[in-house]
Structure 1
């Protein structure tokens, strides 16, 4: 389930003070002060809990079997293998006796989301470049966790279950599946499908030749990390939510932040992130081909979701292929 697209959500329902205190007592975490739902919670699963022993994040009512097991696995390995700050220790309580559902508990990390209302009005240009650079270095650090096969975590044995066929087949089939799904809610023409096929075919060799899978967070976006001014400027002070993590092409993790910068009219920040991350790589042609497909993948998901929920934020008359190519061409042009 680590690489699945999850739309459903198991809400927490009503939670009471006495239940929270029972949970804190179970782990000797002090007297309850307060608790509330988190503003940027993972699909309604999270609550901020404050006690006299500290501040914590509760994540409850798992979306699928093994959700907390996989998150604990990823957090513990990232903590051990990299310098990236993650919420550890990560406690799991499989018992449902307190809330009626199992849950995990982790420390609340310091910092703010970069898209918070406070930071939107206080960050200057230099701050934003520091943040983009910190994002690039954090991702590079995450991706230093290399593995020997493409796949997702099997939470039954904590081994990597290989994607069926190959990574290329898995990724291409995923794109085609969600493009077909988008046809239920929007106009996808034969020309759109032909342009997608041409891009995939043009990039196939670059993917087939790629043989260095690494950890992929799968959902690196402003809502899943915190920033804080450190000794050497702004830095990523915490990273969390590994529900969509797997092992594949690491550059896919850049896409959501590049898109944020492009949509905000800040291509110079996207360019800085890319230049710091690739740090003079000589494989730019292959990278260009792969990153365009990863952008296509994300745009297919975003197009289908926006059309299905009637939440389109762009010109609704744009064709799918024109809209997508404005992004794929932009991201390729940043790799100079």
Structure 2
């Protein structure tokens, strides 16, 4: 059966070989999992439970990094992560390495969000805020980036310079596909000049997901509310300023009430934001939008006939406004 464009055709005997490799019992069902851009996942149901098979990785470090991130969340956070996250580098079964992990309980946050009315979305936004606060319990001594040669995060000496280097890297990617005009570059420089000082405010480093949104969360019903029951899609994570993880959710939600519900629940669990939050969130929102802008323009899937400055201004204003 062909499960996705990326995974291709997989025979039942191959899935059973995976189950035997990890002592999962006999495979009784398998189906692709909805959501995500890349079609790497399928659900395996066996006589011992439900599992996720994640295959055909994007480069040799993807699965190892996700395993390390999952272990940190499992050890340091009250938010469940897919654990144990078991990786097989044996390419004999599929022609590529793969990982197997327990399927997290609950319902997809993306499904819940898509089906919800406005009142329900405000509640879900608050639940996402609680989920992020739980995730950010996973603290670290210093900011750091993942190094696949040691399978761990290595300290960054100058967090401000590191953030600026990451911003410059994505600007370079935008330039490479002709996605920024001279006027756009001047606009970006102006936002940096206006807000850069806020990056120097000290912070306690945490595990930053970097793609935190309903679609990467599961929830279980608890009375009238949905409570976080898991986080996944961990490849982009790093150790940094927790404020970085606020901006994608602030962009995805559609109303001020949803933004404030998300932030209120997060701050209520984590404590108040640091000085300079409005300026810092504007910078982080800019960096986040550049990632989305580059992807959409490079793959010609979004932003046809749209000007960068017109597209980014509402997100910067919303990020600043929610903490004003």
Q: State TM-score, norm by structure 1.
A: 0.86
2:267 is equivalent to residue 278 of structure 1: yes
C-alpha root-mean-square deviation of aligned residues, in Å?
Answer: 2.5
Of 281, 288, 300, the match for 2:278: 288
Corresponding residue for residue 248 of structure 2: 256
The residue correspondences of 1:79-158 to structure 2 (distance < 5 A) are 79-116=74-111, 120-121=114-115, 123-158=116-151
Report the alpha carbon displacement of residue 42 of structure 1 after superposing the two structures with TM. Answer: 6.1
Match of 2:32 in 1: 37
Q: Which moved more, 1:231-240 or 1:185-194?
A: 185-194
Contact 1:127/1:234 (<8 A) preserved: no
Aligned-partner Cα distance in 2 for 1:13–1:95: 18
Give the one of 300, 303, 311 matched to 1:310.
300
- Structure 1 residue 95: Cα displacement: 1.9
Q: Structure 2 length as normaliser, TM-score?
A: 0.89
Q: Does 2:316 match 1:323? A: no
1:21 paired to 2:3: no
Q: How many residues are treated as equivalent by the alignment?
A: 320
Aligned to 1:269: 258
Preserved CA contact (<8 Å) 1:91 1:105: yes
Relative to structure 1, is the Cα distance of residues 120 and 223 closer, same or farther in structure 2, using a 3 angstrom cutoff?
closer
**C-alpha contact (below 8 Å) 1:151/1:161 kept by paired residues:** yes
Structure 1: gaps of 5 or more residues? 1-8
The range that moved more, 209-218 or 295-304, is: 209-218
Shift of 1:247: 0.5
Instruction: Give 1:137 deviation, angstroms.
Output: 1.4
Please give the secondary structure, in 1, of the residue aligned with 2:79: coil
2:47 matched residue in structure 1: 52
Does the C-alpha gap of structure 1 residues 157 and 10 become closer, same or farther in structure 2, counting only changes over 3 Å? farther
Gap runs ≥5 in structure 2: none
1:26 CA drift (Å): 2.4
Q: 1:305 to 1:327 in 2, by over 3 A?
A: same
5 Å-filtered alignment, 1:184-199, equals 184-186=176-178, 188-199=180-191
Contact 1:217–1:242 (CA under 8 A) maintained in structure 2: yes
